[in-house]
Amino acid sequence: MPTSVKDMLAAANASVSKIDRDEAMALIKDKNALVVDVRDLPELQASGKVAGAVHVSRGMLEFRADPDSPYHNPAFNRDRPVIVYCASGGRSALAGKALQDLGYQTVRNLGAFKDWAEKGGPVEKV
């Protein structure tokens, strides 16, 4: 049965908990969470990224996160909490759901990068 992006986003948002800047900072500090920016490279170049975040464009996420993939990034570990974000929260919701489907237990959606930056979250230029 066909589905729509709207349906996919609703399912992802129902599955992946959203967090704010303070919750993310605590998860990073206390649990060594991996922060993943799933935006495209030109977006990072224009605005920077969350300090310490790993950039993996949305289209490559499953390949980087799957330990059986030849493209696996060793920063991804199913036992490590993961925080995903993008420009507005849609791609990060879908990314979070994909990570859950790959067996990641603790996945959170930070949502929009601009919210992080506007609320004083540390940013680094790319």
Q: Where are the domains of the chain?
A: 5-124
Cα–Cα distance, 20 to 108 (Å, whole number): 10
Q: Which CATH class is domain 5-124?
A: alpha beta
Distance CA 125, CA 109 (A): 21
Copy the structure tokens of residue 50.
């969350």
Chain segment 57-67, per-residue pLDDT in tens: 999 999 999 99
Q: What is the pLDDT of residue 2?
A: 75
Average pLDDT, the chain: 97
- CB 79 within 8 Å of CB 99: no
Residue closest to 117 by CA, chosen among 85, 95, 82, 91 = 85
pTM: 0.96
Contact 3, 9 (CB under 8 A): no
Q: Give strand ranges (E) for 1-126.
A: 17-18, 34-37, 49-50, 54-55, 82-86, 107-112, 123-124
- pLDDT score, position 62: 98
Percent pLDDT > 90 in the chain is 97
